Amino acid sequence: MPQGKVSVVPDDGLTTRQRRRQAVLAVHTGHGKGKSTAAFGMALRAWSAGWPIGVFQFVKSEKWKVGEEQALKSLGNVTWHKMGEGWSWIQRAGTERDHAAEAAEGWAQIKRDLAAETYKFLVLDEFTYPMKWGWVDVDEVVATLADRPGTQHVVITGRDAAPALLEAADLVTEMTKVKHPMDAGRKGQQGIEW
C-alpha cells in the first residue's frame, strides 16, 4: 500500500508532525460485510499505539461480535459498552425497554466521554441506525464531533450513513456485498460470522 503520498499539500500553516496528530473521523458504511470488523481491526492498531479504546455497540446482538469483544478485552485497555444490555454505566431496575431512550443515553455518555477525553480511539458501532431512526440528532452528532477536544479518533459504522455525517468524515469507506454464502443457502459459520 502507498505510504503517506499526499496529492495536495494544504496551506494550513501546520507542520507534518502537527498534521499527523489530527484526529480522524472515519465512517464505514454500505450493505457489505466488514464495516464493524474493519473498525475492530483498526482498534488493534490503536491498542498497539497504547491508546485507551472505547466501544459503544448500538445494536443488540446475541452471538455477533462476541468474538471480537472477547479478543479485544483479552488485550486490555478496551472498555466495551452495549446498548442491548442497558449500557454498562446504568443500573436498570425493570425489564421495560425503550430503545430510543437507550440510544439517547448512549449518545449522552459519548458526549461526556468526548468532553473528558476518556478514550483516544472510539468505535461507535452501528451508530448510523439511531441517527437514521431519529433517536439521535445527526446535526448534533456532527457538531459535537467537530468540536471534540484533543486527538480522539472516532469510527462510526452502519448502513445508510447520513449525508451530513459523510460530509463531516475524513475517511469514508463503503463496503459492498459482491457475493455472500447465505445467498446460496449456507448457514453462518461459527468463528467467521460470530
Residues touching a second copy, count (CB under 8 A): 79
Name the one range near a second copy by CB under 8 A: 25-33, 97-105, 108-116, 137-145.
25-33
**Phi, psi torsion values for 37, nearest 5 degrees:** -60, -40
CA 113, 114, 118 angle in degrees (round to 5)? 50
Residues between 129 and 158 that touch a second copy (CB under 8 A): 153
Q: How far is the CB of 98 from a second copy (least distance, A)?
A: 22
Of 39-78, which residues contact a second copy (CB under 8 A)?
39-42, 44-49, 51, 59, 61-64, 66-68, 70-72, 74-75
Does 117 help bind a second copy (rule: CB under 8 A)?
no
d(CA 72, CA 47): 9
Stretch that binds a second copy, among 8-16, 85-93, 99-107, 136-144 (CB under 8 A): 8-16
User: Least distance from C-beta 87 to a second copy, angstroms?
Assistant: 20
- Minimum CB distance to a second copy smaller for 108 or for 158: 158
Among 30, 185, 8, 36, which Cα is nearest to 125's? 36
| Amino acid identity at 21 | R
Written as nine digits, the cell of 136 is 439521535
25 contacts 50 by C-beta, under 8 angstroms: no
Q: State in angstroms the smallest separation of the CB of 83 from a second copy.
A: 14
Q: Does 92 bind a second copy (CB under 8 A)?
A: no
Query: Which residue blocks in 13-147 are alpha helix, DSSP H?
Result: 16-20, 35-48, 66-75, 99-116, 128-132, 138-146
Shortest distance, CB of residue 109 to a second copy, whole angstroms? 23
Cell numbers that stand for 181 in this block: 454464502
Amino acid 29 reads T
Residue 112 makes contact with a second copy by CB under 8 A = no
